[in-house]
Amino acid sequence: MAAKADIQATIVSATTTNAIIAQPVRLKGIILAGLATSGTVQLKTTSATGTTLFEADVPAGDITSLNIPEDGILFPYGVYVSTFTVAKATLLTDKYSGPNLTGQNG
């Protein structure tokens, strides 16, 4: 079966008031690395105080990987991070060009 789209990885390590990925984008998966204590990640659209479209808890010292089925979660106004109490998050999205994306698909 052929892939529907290129997948891009974007690494996040803190909250920000700016969009980490510009609009529109679909979240296809996420990898979360926990700290010594349990943590939470909230991803929003429109702004860092906008509508929460994804939230996950990570157990202390654990790594969690989630694949989002079908077409993923649409973030029509970009991805913003409001709550971030984990070591690092890698967002796997269908967007392959734009600000703050790591690497290039070609």
Q: pTM (2 decimals)?
A: 0.81
What Cα–Cα distance (Å) separates residue 106 from each residue in 6, 11, 69, 101?
A: 9, 19, 24, 14
In this prediction, residue 15 has a pLDDT band, given cuts at 50, 70 and 90, of confident
Summary mean pLDDT of the chain: 85
pLDDT tens figures, 63-80 = 999 999 888 999 999 999
Rounded distance between C-alpha atoms, residue 10 and residue 2, angstroms: 23
pLDDT tens figures, 43-56 = 999 988 999 999 99
Contacts for 2 with CB less than 8 Å, ≥ 6 apart = none
Give the per-residue pLDDT at 70.
Answer: 85
β-pairing verdict for 25-33 and 73-75: antiparallel
Rounded distance between C-alpha atoms, residue 26 and residue 50, angstroms: 17
27 compared with 1, residue with greater pLDDT: 27
Domain parsing of the chain, residue ranges:
16-93
